[in-house]
Amino acid sequence: MEQQLAHGQRATVKRARQRATYEKAAIYRLIDDLKLGHIGFTWEDQLHVIPMTVWRVDDALYFHTINKSRLQRLLEAGGEVCISFAECQEWVLAKSAYHHSANYRSAVVYCRGRRVIDPQDFDRAFSVCINQFEAGRWDKVRPPSDQERKATALIELEIVEGAGKSRSGGPNEEPEDMSLPVWHGTVPVCPYHSET
- Kindly tell me if the per-residue pLDDT of 133 is higher than 60: yes
* Confidence band, pLDDT 50/70/90 cuts, at residue 194: low
The pLDDT of residue 193: 56
Q: Output the DSSP codes for 5-62.
A: ----TTTS--SSGGGEE-BHHHHHHHHHHH-EEEEEEEETTEEEEEEEE-EEETTEEE
Distance CA 38, CA 33 (A): 15
Alpha-carbon span 54 to 59, nearest angstrom: 13
Q: Which region among 13-22, 69-78, 148-157, 178-187 has the lowest average model confidence (pLDDT)?
A: 13-22
Confidence bin at 190 (pLDDT 50/70/90): confident
Full-model pTM: 0.89
Mean pLDDT of 127-136: 94
Say if residue 191's pLDDT is above 60: no
Task: Output the pLDDT for position 118.
Answer: 93
User: 162 pLDDT exceeds 80?
Assistant: yes
Would you say 140 and 155 are in contact if contact means Cβ atoms under 8 Å apart? no
Kindly give, in sequence order, each residue whose CB lies less than 8 Å from that of residue 89, ignoring residues fewer than 6 positions away: 102, 103, 104, 105, 188, 189
Average pLDDT over residues 148-174: 95
Confidence at residue 71, expressed as pLDDT on a 0 to 100 scale: 94
Band (pLDDT 50/70/90 cuts) for residue 29 is: very high
